[in-house]
Structure 1
Amino acid sequence: MVTSGLSIKLFDFQEKAVIKLIDLTSKKDSKQTIIMKAPTGSGKTIILIDYVDTYLTNVSANTAFIWLCPGKGNLEEQSREKMMKFAPGRATQNLFDALLNGFTPGSTTFINWELVTKRGNTAIRDSERKNLFDRIADAHRAGVEFIVIIDEEHSNNTAKAKTIIDAFASKNIVRVSATAIENKRYEFFEIDEVDVIDAGLITKALYVNEGMADNTEITDDYDYLLDLADAKRKAIAGRYKEIGKTIRPLVLIQFPNGQPETIAAVEQKLESMGYTYDNGMVSKWMSEDKKDLPDNLTENDAIPVFLLMKQAISTGWDCPRAKILVKLREGMSESFEIQTIGRIRRMPEAKHYEDDLLDFCYVYTFDEKYKAGLLSNMDKAYETRRLFLKEKCKTFTLEKEIRDLDVGSLGERNVLNKIYDALVRKYNLSTSTTDNKLHFMAAGYQFGDEIIGHALYGEYVRTDMVAESTTYYTTRKLVNTHKHGIELLHSVDAIKSTIGMQSAKVKTILERLFRRGGSSYKKLLLLDTSEFYAFIINNEHRLKEEFREVTAGINTQMTLPLNPKKSIFHIPEQDFYKYDPGVKNEVEYLTNAYHDYTSGYATSLVRSTSEMLFEQFCESRDDIEWVYKNGDTGQQYFSIVYRDGLQNQWLFYADYIIMKKDGTVWIIETKGGETKGKDKNIDIQIENKFNAFKNYAAEHSLHWGFVRDKDNQLYINNTEFAHDMSDDHWVPLSQEF
Structure 2
Amino acid sequence: MSIPADFQLKAIADLMDAMKGDKREIILKSCTGSGKTIILTFFMDEYLKCFDKTVFIWLTPGKGDLEVQSKRKMDKYIHGAQTKTLVDIMTTGFEANDVCFINWETLNKKSNNALKDGERTNFLEHIEKAFNDDLSFKIIVDESHEGDTIKGKEIIEYFQTDKIIRASATPKNYTDATWIIVPEAEVIAAELIKKVLIINEGVKQGDEVVDQIDYLLTKALEKQRKLYSSFASHGANVNPLIVVQLPNKNDVLLDGVERWFASKEITYENGLLAVRLAERHENTAGIEEPTAKPVAIIIKQAIATGWDCPRAHILVKLRDHMSETFEIQTIGRIRRMPEGKHYDEPLLDSCYLYTMDEKFTESVKMSLGKGALEAANLHLKESLKSVKLVCEQVSGIAFSRDQRQILQTIYAYFKKHYNIDTRTIENKKRLEANDFLISNYVRQYVTEENKIIAAGDRSSYKDLKMTYIQAPINTTIHGREYHHIVGEISLRVGLKYEDLNAIFRRLFVRTAGKKPNINQILLLENRELYAFVLNNRELLKNAVRNAASELGDQLHLEFNALSDKTTKKDFWLPRECLFTYDATEKSQRVLLKSVYEGYLSSAAPRSSSEKKFEKYCESAASVQWVYKNGDKGAEYLSIVYEDAYGKARVFFPDYVVCVNGEIWIIETKGGFDKYGNSEDIDKFSPRKFAVLKAYIDKYNLKGGFVREDKKSDELCICMEEYSDDVSSASWSLLRDIIS
Calculate the TM-score normalised by the size of structure 2. 0.49
Higher Rg of the two aligned structures: 1
